[in-house]
A and B are shown apart, each in its own frame.
Chain A
Amino acid sequence: MKRQIALLGLMGRGGALSKIHELIRELPVSRVMTTALLTLPPDATMMQLKELLREHHISGVPVVGGGRLVGVVSIEDLIHALEVQRLDAPIREFMTSEGLVTAHAQEPVMEALRRFEQMGIGRMPVLDARQKLVGIITRGDITLALLRALQELYTEAETIQDRPQHFFDALESENTSLQLRYRIEKGDFALGGDASGKIKRALLRIGASPQLARRVAIATYEAEMNLIIHSDDGGLVLADIQPTTITVVAQDSGPGIADVELAKQPGYSTATPEVREMGFGAGMGLTNIERCTDKMSIWSAVGVGTRLQMTFLVSPEESGEGDEETGQGA
């Protein structure tokens, strides 16, 4: 369960599952194969094969003659030679040379795995685009490579999972919180959303669930855009992150809202056509903020300024895998 939660933390873009998917589909044989290649010429004896297999603890080798792959000889062939007492015979008499199954350096391991399955074989010589022998691949190589990659994913997930504990538990105080502050400039549309994005990434980094991070980011983004669009000379976004509550405050020093209740109505807007062209100013900002927060309060006075406080409770579900928001409350 914990693992799963931690893995969900990786679901940012792409996610753990698609990473595994991608890995299997895209990892090329060349990244998995053994390249320190042992080969034998076709006129080496089965006795030489026996020595080579024993010395290197391997179960088969490609046979190379005239610079080309001509066959594969394995421990089964050696047993066959032993049965007929012909250890002095050349390898070419016992090796598999016809219908040789090979892998290509650039094909995905998934394809190679499929061929292992279909042919019931243990190893395949790997050829490059010019049909030159460049390595050998076994089922074990593929398993190991995938396990190693999975291990990396889990380590990454565990690092993320361990962060909030390390982060908050390591600090002793009556009331620990992390504060982030951003100055928002009036009319700076190009940077609009920068602070919200940074708060979102900070939350994810210290272990918040993606759902919670998204809720906070969306509400903060709307508030940030309000400062850019409506304030006289910009404002501040302050995020206070505690283990159970996140509070984000957006404040400015004017012009102030004359009728806060009216401003909260869906569709009510004083934005200019230019702002609407930017995709904002549809009068949905506060509605959207209210939907994303657990508590929203606005204090405003004309000529003094506006203070919007948004509170988000870190619910138990949200430290795990709570339901996605579907906009039902809109």
Chain B
Amino acid sequence: MTLDEILQATEAQMLVEPPYNIDLESACASDLMSDVLIFTKPNMLLITGLTNPQAIRTADMAEAPAVIFVRGKYPPPETLELAEEMGIGVLMSAYTMFETAGLLYQAGLKGIGKLPIMRQQR
């Protein structure tokens, strides 16, 4: 899915344009960067409400070419500067994370599928 299609589906704004045309295969939505890193796949869109520079760092490590910030949270300048420097596209949608993800799923963007069950310590 191209960024244009994503912009259209989520009525988003482009805040940082990536240096290349990108065609994304899947997406993941999370505010926990470790979770993103666990189910990372290259060429994935990162949907997140976390607007600090770590979202961009995580996208860089995970080779996600673009990040979409949700519920109209405009990221701070250092986040945008880092994205510019790393060549990562940044979009922002006024919809909530749930709705942004839903709209993209409806528009045909795939998820990652089921992951193994992991018991956690209390």
Contact = CB atoms under 8 A, between A and B. Distances in A.
Nearest to B38: A330
Interface string B4-28: 0000000000000011111100000
Give the contact-size bracket for chain A.
35 or more
Given A326-B41, A330-B39, A265 B121 contact: yes
Interface stretch (B61-69, B90-98, B99-107): B61-69
Interface stretch (A35-43, A122-130, A213-221, A307-315): A213-221
Interface of A: 11-15, 18-19, 21-22, 25, 189-190, 192-194, 196-197, 200, 210, 214, 217-218, 221-222, 262, 265-268, 278-280, 282-285, 287-288, 291, 324-330
A194 to B, nearest CB: 8
**Chain B interface helix/strand/loop/mixed:** loop
Nearest to A191: B53
Given A190-B78, A222-B34, A330-B39, A14 B21 contact: yes
Nearest to B113: A326
Interface residues of B, number: 42
A327 B39 contact: yes
Contact of B35 (A12, A21, A268, A282): A282
A222 B112 CA distance: 21
Contact of B52 (A21, A278, A291): A278
B115 to A, nearest CB: 6
Given A13-B18, A265-B120, 4 more contacts: A22-B20, A197-B86, A283-B120, A288-B37
